[in-house]
Amino acid sequence: MTSLAPALNILARIMVGYALLFLVPMAWAWQLDAPALLDVWLQSMAITLGLGLLLWLLTHRFHRELMPRDGFLLVNLVWTVLPACSAVPLVLAIDGLSWTDAYFEAMSGLTATGATAFSGLDSLPVSVNVWRCFLQLIGGLGVMLLVVAVLPLLGLGGVQLYKAETPGPMKDARLTPRIAETARGLWGVYFVFSAACMLAYQQAGMSWADAFMHMCSTMGLGGFSSHDASFGFWDSRDIEGVAIVFMALSGISFARYFIVWRARSFRSMWLDTEVRTYVLVLLASALGMAALLMFHGAFDQYGEALRAAAFHVVSVATTTGYASADYALWPVFAPVWLMFLGTFVSCAGSTGGGIKMVRMLLLIKQSRRELVRAIHPRVVNPVTMGRTTIAVTVIAAVMAYMLIYGASTIGLTMLMLLTGLDIVTAFSAVVATLNNIGPGLGQVGPASNFGVLTDFQTWICTVAMLLGRLELLAVMVLFVPQFWRK
């Protein structure tokens, strides 16, 4: 207990602060929903607050500086306990909703996955849809990154949490001397972009409620919508154009925007190899997809083909998961290519999922290096990114990550197949949740949802979302015996 208590004590404080977030859907319920919905949010707030205070009373004696082990433990506790708190109002507000589906939906929200088990979204109370989408705004950059900014106020450091939560392989570089300043700077950029996105959606034709909800799921690259038809509900070029711009922007590291703002120059953005590759892959894929759709007669005009291709390429590649059409009906290469893009295109430090573009680049460079060494064994040929030589330890970490990533994908897929699912649904469901993409193919395609899965299959996908959001290693480290030894 003494080894768990410091992390549990911080978790208790997080839960107390998290309870205040229920005020957001409560405000929408007060304006647009039936009075009974106010009780749902009040009860949910009271439950979360009460449990947080009780846990704090039980652990407040164990107040000390967090060790690296505590940081990993706390990150995992937060990403398993907060979805449970978030699922409570869903169970209370929706008749007949099982705890499995409620927890899955909450986990999908906080991990910014966007895989939904709900249907009939248009008829759900506004506050429920607001809560689902708001979870993705919170989870997009990471709840723990916000905690890093708050921890100094509690007398605790946050470096360990920053390293465990921040996506990407190179986490030691700081933007500012103090880690809390870094976190606050990233959140500042995040919310400036969020405000601009919401205003753009409203000006393009959405209501204020829809603009707020889709801003949350766009900036978090989550993809939840308040309509079953997603962006097909509007069938608007302007609205899709706004989505494309802000999804593409959110797929780039927010740390890069912070550096651009501080330097008052975009030069560092263009010099970033990862960003350049990200932009080129999106452009090439959109143009190529449009040509493919025209070749197969899916569209009569290239302009419409390009519109559909650009929207879905950016949406799936950035792991947002919006859809304006059932792209599973396109030529088979198209949906498979979209899923493939979703596994790696997003930049490290963005709100997207997947293995991240920088890891893919390092893997390609390392592969090329080994091929050269096979021909010239004594050649000195280090792996570089731009003008920076990548340390051997970083390459080793990337290789270990990819090994665990491949094993997790295969293992979870085999487990899904064991339950009787067809191979397309099983594999795509695992890829979609492990990479936090959202919709898959087959029975969980863009025209369907994850509500067709059994409870056991749903829990497999829930675990996959947690693994993907914490980039595998932060979860897997808990299963190493040395982690629990003093």
Largest CA distance in the chain: 75
pLDDT per residue as tens digits for the range 42-77:
999 999 999 999 999 998 887 777 777 777 888 889
CA Rg value for the chain: 22
Q: Give the SS3 label for residue 436.
A: coil
* Residue 10: other Cβ atoms inside 10 A: 25
- Burial (CB < 10 A; 0-12, 13-18, 19+), residue 44, is buried
DSSP notation for 208-251: HHHHHHHHHHHHTT----SSTTGGGGT--HHHHHHHHHHHHHHT
Are 54 and 42 in contact by the 8 Å Cβ rule? The answer is no
Query: Residue 426 and residue 443: Cα distance in Å, rounded?
Result: 9
Q: Give the SS3 label for residue 385.
A: strand
pLDDT per residue as tens digits for the range 163-216:
555 566 655 555 555 666 777 778 888 999 999 999 999 999 999 999 999 999
Quote the tokens at residue 2.
Answer: 């003494």
Place of tokens 């263009």: 270
Quote the tokens at residue 422.
Answer: 């067809």
Query: Residue 5 and residue 78: Cα distance in Å, rounded?
Result: 14
Are 308 and 299 in contact by the 8 Å Cβ rule? The answer is yes
Which pTM was predicted? 0.91
- Of 82, 80, 102, give the one whose Cα is nearest residue 91: 102
Provide the pLDDT for residue 149: 45
Q: Which phi and psi (to 5°) does residue 388 adopt?
A: -100, 130
Query: Residue 317 and residue 301: Cα distance in Å, rounded?
Result: 24
pLDDT per residue as tens digits for the range 320-376:
999 999 999 999 999 999 999 999 999 988 888 899 998 999 999 999 988 998 888
Provide the pLDDT for residue 87: 97
How far CA 440 is from CA of 231, 356, 423, in Å, comes to 17, 19, 12
When pLDDT is averaged across residues 7-12 and rounded to a whole number, the result is 89
- Of 10, 276, 262, 45, give the one whose Cα is nearest residue 153: 10
- Of 344, 174, 315, give the one whose Cα is nearest residue 243: 315
- Of 74, 75, 26, 76, give the one whose Cα is nearest residue 46: 26
What percentage of the chain reaches a pLDDT higher than 90? 64
When pLDDT is averaged across residues 4-18 and rounded to a whole number, the result is 89
